[in-house]
């Protein structure tokens, strides 16, 4: 099935078999926005939602930016202000995932494509460019924290992109260094830190008066079990968790019951809106990031930008992003985590110092810088 032609002034651009033939048209960057429609968008969904409009705002003269998704009943969540699209491909996501994993060379259109996750076409056709974001190396370093299928898919897609894409985007130097050891990389790798947008808005969430906040998809590598143990060792403070359940059946309330933390001291908010996240951030005494593995840690950066003190584990990427503006503790060490949280909760002076350091650190991260770095891959390959 061949979608209707796209008209650019007097120039016709024809899509057929997902390959675009361009005759004198304005060059176009197409961004795969499929993660915005995922059941659990997670951090990569937030990354896509922030980066895509930034790419549109920073487009080089003469370029256009649009988004594309597989066929869904409702593509509303993929519509972003300032971005053309999404254009809907004629096949459902599972089919597209399978075809691309098998190496079928369907191109989603455009002169250049950016894939905000390893879900990407096998290679760019002649004269086209493809950039792919690799968020972390968890499929190699911590495979036990993913499903077996997830490990296999990510390893194969990342390894192929490292050989055939025009360039890889990674969020931290830590990920770049790990990737160089774990995968044979034949394409340029560009370290492109995420930007940060301070959560805004207000909601009527019913929150405790005194609480530790954790933000992110609830799954094994996020270290929620360690955080529950740490909060159980503290007096007079509750735990609030904002995020959707991922795989692995991690239930913070059940963990609390098993580990001696009264259930009435645990609040699980589930998926939150931007306004609800802003409200939860403003009310938090401290943000805890007890992860076993991360490639960046966007909630950490958002909390620092919002003026919330941060306690995080010694994951290399978290250390890199925090830059000394948070308290660091060893991974998996509940006693050390409890001590660090207690230090922030018990000392207004220490909390104020971390707030100041965090705000200063967060100022150096912008989505504009991130977008311009992605554009550099495509501009370099066209020069």
Q: Is the pLDDT of residue 155 over 70?
A: yes
Residue 5's pLDDT band (boundaries 50, 70, 90)? very low
In this predicted structure, what is the pLDDT of residue 226?
96
Q: Is the pLDDT of residue 24 over 80?
A: no
Residue 70's pLDDT band (boundaries 50, 70, 90)? very high
Q: Which comes out higher in pLDDT, residue 78 or 198?
A: 78
Whole-number average pLDDT of the chain = 91
Q: Is the pLDDT of residue 4 over 80?
A: no
> What is the residue-wise DSSP string for 2-61?
-PPPEEETTEEEEEETTEEE-SSPPPEEEEE-GGGGSSS-HHHHHHHHHHHHHHHHTPPT
Please give the Cα distance from 214 to 112 (Å, whole number). Answer: 37
Same fold, 6-195+366-382 and 211-362: yes
Phi first, then psi: what are they for 17, rounded to 5°?
A: 55, 35
Q: Is the pLDDT of residue 46 over 80?
A: yes
Calculated CA dihedral for residues 38, 129, 170, 361, nearest 10 degrees? -100
**Interval 213-223: pLDDT, tens:** 999 999 999 99
* 233-255 average pLDDT score: 90
Q: Which residues contact 377 (CB under 8 A, 6 or more apart)?
A: 129, 131, 166, 167, 169, 188, 190
**Interval 286-301: pLDDT, tens:** 999 999 999 999 999 9
In this predicted structure, what is the pLDDT of residue 40?
85
Residue 184's pLDDT band (boundaries 50, 70, 90)? very high
* 360-370 average pLDDT score: 97
Residue 150's pLDDT band (boundaries 50, 70, 90)? very high
In this predicted structure, what is the pLDDT of residue 249?
84
> What is the residue-wise DSSP string for 167-179?
EEEESSHHHHHHH
Q: Is the pLDDT of residue 160 over 70?
A: yes
CATH number 3.40.50.150 given to 211-362: no
Q: Taking Cα atoms as reference points, which of 187, 199, 114, 164 lies closest to residue 372?
A: 114
**Interval 85-140: pLDDT, tens:** 999 999 999 999 999 999 999 999 999 999 999 999 999 999 999 999 999 999 99
Q: Taking Cα atoms as reference points, which of 148, 152, 158, 146 lies closest to residue 184?
A: 158
Sign of the torsion formed by the C-alpha atoms of 132, 381, 33 and 47: positive
Please give the Cα distance from 216 to 301 (Å, whole number). Answer: 13
In this predicted structure, what is the pLDDT of residue 14?
34
**Interval 309-353: pLDDT, tens:** 999 999 999 999 999 999 999 999 999 999 999 999 999 999 999
Residue 15's pLDDT band (boundaries 50, 70, 90)? very low
Residues β-bridged to residue 313: 329
* 361-373 average pLDDT score: 97
In this predicted structure, what is the pLDDT of residue 333?
98
In this predicted structure, what is the pLDDT of residue 13?
35
Q: Is the pLDDT of residue 164 over 80?
A: yes
Q: Is the pLDDT of residue 20 over 70?
A: no
Q: Is the pLDDT of residue 79 over 60?
A: yes
In this predicted structure, what is the pLDDT of residue 381?
61
Alpha-helical segments (H) within the chain: 42-57, 93-102, 138-141, 148-164, 173-182, 224-232, 252-258, 274-283, 298-305, 316-322, 334-346, 348-362, 367-382
Stretch (H or E) spanning 132: strand 129-133
**Domain range annotation of the chain:** 6-195+366-382, 211-362
* 173-200 average pLDDT score: 95
What is the number of residues in the chain?
Answer: 383
State in words which class domain 6-195+366-382 has. alpha beta
The reported pTM is: 0.89
């Amino acid at each position: 099935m061949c979608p209707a032609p796209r008209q650019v002034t007097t120039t016709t651009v024809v899509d057929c078999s997902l390959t675009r033939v361009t005759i004198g048209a304005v060059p176009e960057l197409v961004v795969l926005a499929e993660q915005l429609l995922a059941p659990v968008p997670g951090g990569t969904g937030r990354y896509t939602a922030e980066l895509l409009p930034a790419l549109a705002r920073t487009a080089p003269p003469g370029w256009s930016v649009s988004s594309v998704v597989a066929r869904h009943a409702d593509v509303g969540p993929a519509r972003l202000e300032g971005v053309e699209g999404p254009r809907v491909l004629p096949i459902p996501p599972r089919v597209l995932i399978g075809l691309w994993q098998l190496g079928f060379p369907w191109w989603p259109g455009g002169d250049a494509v950016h894939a905000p996750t390893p879900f990407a076409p096998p290679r760019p056709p002649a004269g086209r460019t493809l950039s792919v974001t690799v968020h972390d190396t968890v499929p190699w370093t911590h495979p036990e924290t993913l499903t077996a299928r997830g490990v296999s898919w990510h390893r194969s897609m990342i390894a192929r992109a490292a050989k055939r894409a025009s360039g890889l985007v990674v969020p931290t130097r830590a990920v770049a260094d790990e990737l160089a050891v774990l995968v044979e990389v034949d394409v340029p790798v560009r370290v492109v830190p995420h930007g940060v947008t301070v959560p805004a808005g207000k909601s009527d969430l019913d929150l405790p008066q005194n609480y530790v906040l954790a933000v992110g998809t609830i799954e094994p590598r996020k270290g929620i079990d360690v955080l529950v143990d740490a909060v159980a060792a503290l007096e007079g403070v509750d735990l609030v968790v904002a995020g959707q359940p991922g795989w692995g059946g991690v239930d913070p309330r059940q963990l609390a019951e098993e580990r001696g933390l009264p259930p009435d001291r645990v609040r699980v908010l589930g998926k939150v809106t931007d306004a609800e996240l802003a409200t939860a951030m403003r009310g938090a005494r401290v943000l805890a990031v007890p992860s076993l593995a991360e490639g960046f840690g966007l909630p950490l950066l958002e909390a620092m930008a919002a003026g919330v003190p941060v306690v995080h584990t010694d994951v290399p990427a978290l250390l890199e992003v925090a830059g000394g503006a948070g308290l660091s503790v060893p991974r998996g060490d509940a006693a050390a985590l409890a001590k660090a949280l207690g230090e922030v909760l018990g000392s207004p002076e220490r909390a104020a110092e971390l707030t100041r350091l965090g705000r200063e650190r967060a100022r150096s991260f912008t989505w504009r810088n991130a977008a311009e770095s992605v554009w550099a891959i495509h501009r370099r390959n066209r020069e």
